[in-house]
Amino acid sequence: MQTVSENRAFGGVQGVYTHTSEACSCDMTFGLYLPPQAARGPVPVLWYLSGLTCTHENAMIKAGAQGWAARHGLAVVFPDTSPRGEGVADDPHYDLGQGAGFYVNATEAPWAPHFRMWDYVAEELPGLIAEQFAVDPERQAITGHSMGGHGALTLAMGLPGRYASVSAFAPIAHPTSADWGRKQLAAYLGPDEGAWAAHDSTLAMRARGFDGEVLIDQGLSDQFIDTLKPEALGEAMAARRQPGRLRLQKGYDHSYFFVASFMADHVAFHAEALGA
């Protein structure tokens, strides 16, 4: 692992690091914010998964998480959204390939050799961070925006007991029935739609739900709301009587202005679940 940068922020340290990933068979970059409390011992971890076209950097700079994380004593991890580099498959469209990993383990050519973002976020990167930094791997929570909200919800429901809480900002909530989803799941996982179900939060909510609290914010002026399908996930939560809240926010769009506006609520929500 190599240090790219470390900057003082809100009494803690915002770092950027690179390492060679076995899961993705390439070099990967991630951001990690350690609050001032980490100087005294391991702190709980909040994972922030970003959306289409983003790198580790977008949310790290724009989402406004660090100040709230420092207040509650949480580390925040900002992984990249896909493998990158020479020899990594790509596509000319923004919603497939590099920058659009969709947090799945690809099984189809040409994606399978590198696009193993589920294993990277669920196993490899948590192990590396627990080994190298003052974090508590037994206390984790997860959130994300758009494609990252999809990833946060499916990881949380797919790994029971791993995360104390899950939240999402404008998640791709029903990808097996949406333009943002069917194209990517078919490309990465093949034509068998049965293999897609584990990566659809609406279907996962119907099948098993989440063993903790859920918080979702969705802007009603989001230009992609018809593709995101929050109503499908809301109906699944209601039918399952899932503990949690789906909040529809009047006037808000899909941007980081929306994310930053509600970041304090989300960090506090996770801090309470983590006992921070």
DSSP 82-136: S--STT----SSTTSBTTB-TT-B--STTTTTT-BHHHIIIIIHHHHHHHHSSEE
What is residue 233's predicted lDDT score, i.e. its pLDDT? 98
Residues 237 and 257: their CA atoms lie apart, in Å, by 27
Cα–Cα distance for residue pair 21/116, rounded to 1 Å: 10
The answer to whether 136 is a known catalytic residue is no
Classify 274 as helix, strand or coil.
helix
Residue 157: what residue type?
M
Please give the C-alpha separations between residue 264 and each of 33, 70, 210, 242, 269, in angstroms, as whole numbers.
Answer: 16, 11, 22, 23, 8
Question: Could you state, in chain order, the average pLDDT of each consecutive group of 10 residues for the chain (276 residues)?
Answer: 98 98 98 98 98 98 98 98 97 97 98 98 98 97 98 98 98 96 98 97 98 97 98 98 98 98 98 95
User: So what's the pLDDT on residue 5?
Assistant: 98
Closest CA to 79 of 116, 54, 114: 54
- Tell me if residue 25 is catalytic: no
Q: What is the pLDDT of residue 196?
A: 98
Residue 209 backbone dihedrals phi, psi, to 5 degrees = 70, -165
Domain positions in the chain: 2-274
**Catalytic one among 56, 199, 254, 270?**
254
The reported pLDDT for the residue numbered 144 is 98
How much is the pLDDT for 49? 98
Active site annotation includes 222: yes
Q: Which of 80, 200, 217, 222 is catalytic?
A: 222
Helix axes 65-72, 256-274, angle to 10 degrees: 10
Residues 6+ apart with CB under 8 A from 31: 14, 15, 16, 17, 56, 57, 60, 77, 78
Please state which of the four CATH numbers 3.40.50.1820, 3.20.20.70, 3.40.50.720, 3.40.47.10 is assigned to the domain occupying 2-274.
Answer: 3.40.50.1820
- Per the CB < 8 A criterion, the answer to whether 44 and 274 are in contact is yes
Task: Please tell me which residue in 21, 146, 165, 201 is annotated as part of the active site.
Answer: 146
pLDDT, position 276: 83
Burial of 86 per CB tally in 10 Å (0-12, 13-18, 19+): exposed
Residue 200 has a pLDDT of 98
CB 207 within 8 A of CB 233: no
